[in-house]
Amino acid sequence: MQATNNGVLAAGNAYDPFVSTTTPLGTAGAVVTHPLQPNPYAHDHTGIGPTSYFTAQSTFQQPAQYHLYAPIGPHNQNILGYQRNVHDLFIPNDFREELQKKAAATLQTLPNSQLPTQIDHFHSLVPLDVTHQKNATIFGYPSWVYKAQSSKDGNYYALRRLEGFRLTNEKAIRCVQAWKRVISASVVTVHDAFTNRSFQDSSLIFVTDYHPLSKTLAEQHLESPTRYQNRHASTHVTEPVLWGYVTQIASALKAIHSAGLAARVIDASKILLTGKNRIRLNACAILDVVQHDTQRSIADLQSNDMVSFGQLILTLGASSLAHNPTKALEHFSRAYSAQLYNSVLWLLGAGPSKDPQGQAQAANQSQNANSNSNQGSDRTIDVFITGISTQLISTFDSSLHVDDELTHDLSRELENARLVRLLTKLNFITERPEYDHDRHWSENGERYFLKLFRDYVFHQVDSQNAPVVDLGHVLTCLNKLDAGSEEKVTLISRDEQSCFVVSYKELKKGVEMSFQALMKRR
């Protein structure tokens, strides 16, 4: 109790049921000389109540409703509050198809294969090359790519084989250890490298992560149309997509250069497109092994990375591998913004310039990587990233939106096994031969209702006495049972002599109580 300024004692609670405004205690100036009696029933759990007159009963408590999905944001749909879309109930159809296709590609096997049955601890080889032409332009050796499964961890990996390579220096293959420490979302992770003779020759094998159904940037943007395709079809890469590629490659080079390495392979045919506008640098560690004896400084190689970076973006902007550098720069300046154009010029070593003559000189200089090795120490990936910081923010914001969307889709699949759990409980209970020395346990009480409910859901027949195989009916009944709906259902015995009308809530109570009885015997 605490006295107020007007002399009235104020209780700790804002409301006292024993003090009303019509009593003398409610008038101003009233003085109370004894403690105010609190409500005896406010916090007394042993007072007068239902349990004082009736014996304690085991009431059925509803379990936590984990099947009630919480709508996790963001919510960007232009619909009214009471409206729902079919896509709200399931994972997006295109996303589901993409995951299923990737899973099928991962599990794909090649029957009657002529490939080696096992390479080191890898087996089940499947070729990933879409062409059967030998190409030794980039690595100096013909290379082939296979998908294989590891017998150590069961995971799938991509094996790149360099045909006819002979290892003369043991230190060369040790360079791969440094690449194992390069952890970047924009670089295909390198796991191992070893020599092998399973292909009846001396081959160098690189083990990297496997990304199913991935394509190269050359296949996506630079493939020439066939005679059956529309020759006038637009293959122009939009500027937002091109900026996305620029920021991801810059992120990859940042991780590589920070580790004291150089990518050395920034080519459209070796950059994987693993998702929508999602790319990864691939095959970066190969030249460090193949050209280990070449005496070139890391600074020189990193400078060449910047030039190759600019040449790649210029090639994608021209949508052609065989392009004239001068005309490509002129087209690039017309098709894209000044910021992207100046960024390409900076990478090529010419710096921002609007002079056509300077553009032509920059294009000619970009054809010779060695001519740009002495451009200065200020041409680093860190300086380039600082210059495109505004585009990095845009790309980062887009990635956050994608993350929110994936989290939203995942939240809807959080309890996708609830019907399996419910069916498991039902099968534990129904048709049980014996329990606690009682052979008729499953035929008595609420268990009998569950047996009839099982027949109602799965064993219905139509007017022609043919089985009713309706997945919609099964899912509807199980969902109502899982939610404990108040809706009534009519259950008829197999001999059609008995009929029961029960609610789904009562059936759910029977499932939980019967299952708990089974659990108590453990």
DSSP string, 418-461: HHHHHHHHHHHHTT-S-BTTBTTGGGSTHHHHHHHHHHHHH--B
The SS3 of residue 127 is: strand
Within-domain flag for 383: no
Sign of the Cα pseudo-torsion (388, 393, 398, 403, in order)? positive
pLDDT at 102: 95
Strand ranges of the sheet holding 143-150, from the earlier edge strand across to the other edge: 118-119, 122-127, 143-150, 156-162, 203-209, 190-196
pLDDT at 431: 86
419 token code pair = 């019907």
289: nearest Cα among 169, 173, 184:
173
The per-residue pLDDT for 408 is: 84
The number of distinct structural domains making up the chain is: 2
83-102 burial, b if ≥16 CB within 10 A, otherwise e?
eeeeeeeeeeeeeeeeeeeb
Q: Which of 42, 57, 72 is the last residue of a domain?
A: 57
Binding site as annotated, residues for ATP: 160, 209-216, 269-270
Domain annotation covers residue 10 = yes
pLDDT score of 257:
97
In a domain, 491, yes or no: yes
Place of tokens 């007017």: 463
Answer whether residue 336 is part of any domain: no
Residue 27, pLDDT score? 42
514 inside domain: yes
| Spans of the chain, pLDDT less than 50 | 1-34, 36, 39-57, 227-228, 230, 232-234, 352-376
The CATH number for 498's domain is 1.10.287.3700
How big is the CA angle at 394 (ends 391 and 395), to the nearest 5 degrees? Answer: 90
CB under 8 Å to 503, separation ≥6 — which residues? 485, 486, 487, 488, 489
The pLDDT value recorded for residue 168 is 86
pLDDT of residue 415: 78
Alpha carbon distance 14, 5 (integer Å): 17
Paired tokens of 202? 């001396």
- Residues 63 and 505: their CA atoms lie apart, in Å, by 12
Structural domain containing residue 492: 418-520
Residue 137 tokens, joined: 């332009």
- Give the pLDDT score at 70: 63
**Final residue in a domain of this structure, among 31, 57, 83:** 57
Residue 249 and residue 320 in contact, taking contact as beta carbons nearer than 8 Å: no
pLDDT at 20: 42
Q: Is residue 19 part of a domain?
A: yes
368 part of a folded domain: no
Token couple for 353: 């310039």
Burial class (CB in 10 A: 0-12, 13-18, 19+), 242: buried
Query: Residue positions in the annotated binding site?
Result: 160, 209-216, 269-270
Whether 181 maps to a domain, the answer reads: no
Indicate the pTM of the whole model. Answer: 0.74
- The type of residue at 371 is S
